[in-house]
Amino acid sequence: MVTDKENAELMSLPTAELLRLAPFAGDFFSSLGLELPDEGVSTADYFASLDAELLEDLGLERQSLSGRFTAFMELLENLKCGADNACIESITIRGGHDKSGRAEEFDLTVKPGEVICIVGPTGSGKSRFLADIEWMAQGDTPTGRSILINGAAPDPSRRFSIEHKLVAQLSQNMNFVMDLTVEEFITMHAESRMVDDIPTVTAAIIELANDLAGEKFTPQTPVTALSGGQSRALMIADTSCLSTSPIVLIDEIENAGIDRKRAVHTLVDKRKIVLMATHDPILALMGDRRLVFKNGGIATIIDTSQEERANLVRFEEMDAMLGTVRNALRNGELIGKMC
């Protein structure tokens, strides 16, 4: 929140310095139909110098300008910092119970940069667990689990906030309905996040998405024309670069037709907390821990061992070979004798 003292300090700055600290502050003046003050003039002096007739024509009152400026800068601050989402140091999941009422006797704490994999057969409760995280359950879901943020229950205003979500979920099915190109879609998101260099950020996200996707697409490709894998690649790139949500939930990324290993590392490099439901042994062993689900609850929590890490190298070699075969099939080639 911008205090009265901080607002007074901002209003006393020369316009050039104000725009250096907050480049989007210029939008405040244009939104009211005012010209940008000269570089050496402070906002306070500019408000005082405005012609009364001009203010009347614009429907503005001089005494309200300071308050409107404060409200705008507070909104700017909230958007830039993600409403304190970046301050999340950990999430803790307090166990509830499975479908039979058996207690989950654990408290699981996860920190930024960690990957937790969620494994188990279909119907074992993996999606319900992800939903509990997304809704920041407080013992009020069928599982009875509770979610803590930095060791405490989340503030209700944060838990039920629509614009400042703590969790970004990448589901199995992602479809666009808006009539925009990929470039227009990412640019719109970048503008809403008030990034400084929108064209550069947009280009970087599209390039990253193409690196993840099996089939390339252009900035002018309509988002409605993207395949399932391309859509997932675009959203992973967008989430890693622009989303302020510190927690990312991923449901079966192996079915997306993308470079799944690099996709996970992309999110980890951005210090996201990654929780991933998967049937893929490579992804499961990439995680720091894995939660084994049975009968709607967590039956076991396993720390990935060094022996499993060693096996992961072998599995990746096998996967690379299968990847070569898949590409050959896509290109209409015959599959010869394998070594």
Q: How many CB atoms lie within 10 A of CB 106?
A: 12
Distance CA(87)–CA(74), nearest Å, equals 18
Residue 232 sits in a domain of what CATH number? 3.40.50.300
Instruction: Look at the chain and count its residues.
Output: 339
CA 3 to chain centre: 29
pLDDT at 208 over 70: yes
Q: Do residue 250 and residue 330 come from a single domain?
A: no
Q: Taking phi first (over 0 means left), then psi (-120 to 50 degrees means alpha), and beta for anything else, what does residue 94 get? A: beta
pLDDT one-digit tens code per residue, 288-325 = 999 999 999 999 999 999 999 889 888 888 888 887 88
Q: Do residue 109 and residue 238 come from a single domain?
A: yes
Looking at the 3D structure of the chain, how many domains does it have? 3
Q: Do residue 33 and residue 102 come from a single domain?
A: no
* DSSP state for residue 87 in the 8-state scheme: G
pLDDT one-digit tens code per residue, 10-45 = 888 898 888 877 777 787 888 788 888 998 999 989
Q: Tokens in use for 193?
A: 């996040």
Q: Do residue 60 and residue 147 come from a single domain?
A: no
Residue ending a domain, among 25, 59, 81, is: 81
Q: Do residue 279 and residue 327 come from a single domain?
A: no
Distance CA(68)–CA(59), nearest Å, equals 13
Q: Do residue 284 and residue 258 come from a single domain?
A: yes
Q: Do residue 192 and residue 288 come from a single domain?
A: yes
Q: What is the mean pLDDT of residues 136-153?
A: 92
pLDDT one-digit tens code per residue, 43-56 = 989 999 999 888 88
Q: What is the mean pLDDT of residues 328-338?
A: 82
Domain that holds residue 60: 4-81
Q: Do residue 48 and residue 176 come from a single domain?
A: no
Q: Do residue 300 and residue 312 come from a single domain?
A: no
Higher pLDDT, 88 or 124: 124
Q: Do residue 25 and residue 174 come from a single domain?
A: no
Distance CA(57)–CA(327), nearest Å, equals 66
Residue ending a domain, among 29, 61, 81, is: 81
pLDDT at 188 over 80: yes
Q: What is the mean pLDDT of residues 322-334?
A: 84
pLDDT one-digit tens code per residue, 232-290 = 889 888 988 888 788 888 876 655 567 777 888 888 887 888 888 888 888 888 889 99
DSSP string spanning 21-70?
A: H-GGGHHHHHHTTPPPPPTT-BHHHHHHHS-HHHHHHHT--HHHHHHHHH
Distance CA(166)–CA(339), nearest Å, equals 48
Q: Do residue 119 and residue 77 come from a single domain?
A: no
Q: How many CB atoms lie within 10 A of CB 87?
A: 11
pTM of the model: 0.65
pLDDT at 173 over 70: no
Q: Do residue 26 and residue 56 come from a single domain?
A: yes
